[in-house]
Amino acid sequence: MRTDVRPRADGLPEDFVWGCSTAAYQIEGSTGADGRGTSIWDVFSRRPGAVLGGMNGDLACDSYRRWKEDVALLRELGVGAYRFSIAWPRIQSGGSGSPNAAGLDYYRRLADGLLEAGIEPAATLYHWDLPQPLEDAGGWPERDTAYRFADYAGLVLRALGDRITTWFSLNEPWCSSHLGYALGIHAPGRKDRGAAYRAVHHLLLAHGLAVRACRSAAPGARIGIVLNTATPRPATRRPEDRTAASRAADERTALWLDPLYGRGYPERHLAAYPEVSMPIEDGDLATIAEPMDFLGVNYYSEEAVEAAPVGPEHPEGFRVAQSWREKTEMGWDIAPEGLGRQLEHIASTWPVKALYVTENGGAFPDLAGPDGRVRDRDRIEYLRSHIASMAGAASRGVPVRGYFTWSLLDNFEWSHGYSKRFGLVAVDLVTGERRPKDSFWFYRDLVAGFGS
């Protein structure tokens, strides 16, 4: 841990960064504007039954046109950074070839607007919106997709690396591989575990190639990856539940962090699933383990798992166990102590130089009163308790350097459409009007109190 940082009473370093996170497909809208190509989410969201109510991101929060309003909200919050994602189809409409100038210009304007407001732009290169032509050519299970991503990353870093100096290669690659290719509940909606594990490898390879691209195209920038790690506990002491928990933890954590930190894939996990194999070629593991500047961790909940009969619903042989705990609107247990536990587990198991909590937040009912005000006390308590848990881990030596809440705005929550609201700010889907909730003012005061 850096010793030059004076730990504060709350354990967080003086230069701790507070921020908010969003993602392109979830907030931008304008999916047909200015040369943007089609992504797998544009296609998947139109598949009958894929998304609640047949909703999609065509309009979303209209942030492509209203980005100045979003920057003004961030400025009012007083945050030090804003994590957004760059839509690959805006930069290369078909996923390869020369860049779309209008797409680069949009992100240049957004970055400049943030910098003028004293807010650091922090960009995610891939937040799930793969250009559809690349999926038509096989998608992440195909090695070539990793090379296409490397070209895209190099192009963006060369164009924007002077304005944006904090980069995240991928957001939650587990969601891309397992939800997109094994369980089929996210785009592209395939159910093929073999394809999912080929996707695991090519996503990690893509990340490593992007780190190399960053070192050459934007030498002054920093880059990491964002993972939704999890270390579920066994529901009972039964041996089968303990095995289930270790398999679930490996799938969500070691399967990713072991290769990223030069340890190769966890043999225990691959031995548990002999039907899948990793298409490793010479040099791949070294590429994947290219040193990162930091690790982003998304945390929402901590669950217990139990053994489940292997089948279409539970191909891995485990499932989340029922629990008595209070839950968010997503049905996820509210377990603030799990955040500190997760951060300490990661910091004590892998040689992580610096950690950011890149997403943390909760979906709640958010009923507006007759005055239109959303008194989201439940979200305030969720944020307060999780931030306290994170600060506790920091006071015990975990090198956590920043916290980004999910999310600035209510937005398109993937297969749930717009039915689940995570924002500090409510968005009227007809008028586009942004209305800060009580949690917005809570977060503003918390940031002001900590400094940012």
| Chain contacts with ligand GCO (rule: CB under 6 A) | 23, 26, 171-172, 175, 228, 298, 359, 406, 413, 422
- Is 413 among the catalytic positions? no
What is the distance between the alpha carbons of residues 89 and 244, in angstroms, rounded to a whole number? 38
Could you tell me which of 238, 257, 264 has the C-alpha nearest to residue 318?
238
Q: CB 280 → ligand GCO: shortest distance, Å?
A: 27
- Is 172 among the catalytic positions? yes
Nearest to ligand GCO of 107, 422 (CB atom): 422
Q: CB 383 → ligand GCO: shortest distance, Å?
A: 14
What is the distance between the alpha carbons of residues 80 and 452, in angstroms, rounded to a whole number? 5
Pair 177, 132: CB distance under 8 Å:
no
Q: CB 22 → ligand GCO: shortest distance, Å?
A: 8
CA distances, 174 to each of 136, 181, 256, 300 (Å): 21, 10, 8, 15
Nearest to ligand GCO of 175, 427 (CB atom): 175
CA distances, 374 to each of 21, 79, 403 (Å): 20, 21, 23
CA distances, 450 to each of 8, 289, 296, 336, 423 (Å): 9, 34, 21, 20, 21
Nearest to ligand GCO of 123, 307 (CB atom): 123
Whose structure tokens read 């995570």?
A: 422
Nearest to ligand GCO of 289, 387 (CB atom): 387
The contacts of residue 6 (CB under 8 Å, 6+ apart) are 13, 14
Q: CB 275 → ligand GCO: shortest distance, Å?
A: 27
Q: CB 18 → ligand GCO: shortest distance, Å?
A: 18
- Number of Cβ within 10 Å of residue 151's Cβ equals 15
Nearest to ligand GCO of 26, 45 (CB atom): 26
Catalytic residue among 120, 251, 303, 359: 359
CA distances, 406 to each of 112, 139, 430 (Å): 22, 27, 22
Catalytic residue among 120, 172, 290, 303: 172
Q: Name the residues annotated as catalytic.
A: 172, 359
